[in-house]
Amino acid sequence: MTKLIMVLLLMAVVMSTAAQAASIYAGKAKAAEVCSQCHGVRATSSDAPFPPLAGRDEEYLKMALKQYRDKTRISDIMNNIAGSLTDRDINNIANYYSRLSK
């Protein structure tokens, strides 16, 4: 019985981490859909007015996206784009871009 509870508990722990962990693959897909058109994958165009995102600090990326979404940081285009992102999207995207080498 104790064994079974232990196993169940363990499973619960594993499952909850899985649910919270940001997915680099989901981040890649979302970035391709939403971000890379302007910010590029590893680098943005040498002529583009957009900052590159590859290799940036994960926490910073999350914070910036949430600020754009909440409109505490103002940019007409980013407020619109970030407005469509969920917390999970933001975690995934930040996870993906922060781990890409420049």
How many residues bind another protein, per CB under 8 A?
17
Please answer whether residues 48 and 38 qualify as being in contact, where contact means their C-beta atoms are separated by less than 8 angstroms.
yes
Q: Which residues contact 43 (CB under 8 A, 6 or more apart)?
A: 52, 54, 102
Q: Which is nearer to another protein, 6 or 64 (CB)?
A: 64
Residues in contact with another protein, shown as a per-residue x/- string from 20 to 39 under the rule CB under 8 A:
------------xx--xxx-
77 belongs to the binding site for another protein (CB under 8 A): yes
Examine residue 44 and tell whether it contacts another protein (CB under 8 A): yes
CA distance to 20, 21, 24, 81, per residue, from 27 (Å): 13, 11, 5, 15
Stretch of 9-17, 48-56, 57-65, 86-94 contacting another protein, by CB under 8 A: 48-56
Q: Which of 41, 33, 23 is nearest to 101 (CA)?
A: 41
* CB closer to another protein, 6 vs 55: 55
